[in-house]
Amino acid sequence: MMPALIAGAALGLGMFLLVLALIPGRPGLARQLAAFDAVSLPAAGARRPPAGGGESRVARRLGTMLARFCAEQGWEFPSLRANLALVGKSFESYLASKLLLAVFGLLLGPLLLAALTLGGVRLPVAVPVWAGLLLAMAFFFLPDLELKQKVDRRRRDFRHAIGAFLDLVAMNLAGGRGVPEALMSASEIGTGWAMWRIRDALASARIIGQTPWQALGALGEEVRIGELRDLSAALSLVAEDGAKVRESLATRAASLRRRELAELQGQAGERSQSMLVAQMLLAGAFLIFLIYPAVRVMLGF
């Protein structure tokens, strides 16, 4: 009875989705605004590093369709888009990878049933169905876990680069340069991706007529780095006084280094605790291995 119900539900859902796809949809206001923004603001995406170059044509088309559907529904995902921009991955590629992984996990259930059937093992139909659903759910969230790990690592590297950038700006200010020249000169010294983003933001600000601290604040909003937003606010207040700027930057650089050192010490402590637990488990397993023969003889096994 249960396999028939599941098959009927799947067939009904498929027919409903087919009819829904055949009905021509009327473009909504959110879709029209998204299309207008995509046409009128091409330079905003051109400044970002290229992403998703290794995708297949099917994945690109699927990602484009999913992104268009999200735009039609008015789903913007600002936090997710900021994280994807930080790691250099497109929103379309992210959506396509989630859906394709979910479909792959869903198909693993029938494949497992076929393999077990060929091996002579008989299982109820509900077992591979539920296994496929659970695998689809697990695979659907795999890109989120990968993105979180990459974002945490990138933001940690970005904060480390900001500390070095502040020291370089302070040294340029001590050499007699103004604040805009010191910021641009310091960004040109570094070669990492974080310095590239800062240099790109400052160069774009010079072209469109923004101040450098406004560009740093916008970059901090884009990549969700609070230190850049705080730096932008501080520079906008003391931009005319070079001595105050140098003192503020030196203090901020020292504060960032202390924070980074505290985080490294915390990570080292966590790893030490993990190693201690692993050593205790190994010692317990070794003791069980030693006393097992004696216990077996005493109990008469």
Stronger pLDDT, 120 or 65, i.e. the higher one: 65
Q: For the chain, report the end-to-end CA distance as a whole number of angstroms.
A: 47
Which of 53-57, 104-108, 247-251 has the weakest average pLDDT? Answer: 53-57
Highest mean pLDDT among 45-54, 60-69, 176-185: 60-69
pLDDT of residue 173: 80
Three state DSSP letters for 163-193: HHHHHHHHHHHHCCCCHHHHHHHHHHHCCCH
pLDDT of residue 212: 85
CB-count burial class (<10 Å; 0-12, 13-18, 19+) for 119: exposed
The model's pTM:
0.62
The residue extents of the domains of the chain are 151-258
Alpha carbon distance 234, 255 (integer Å): 14
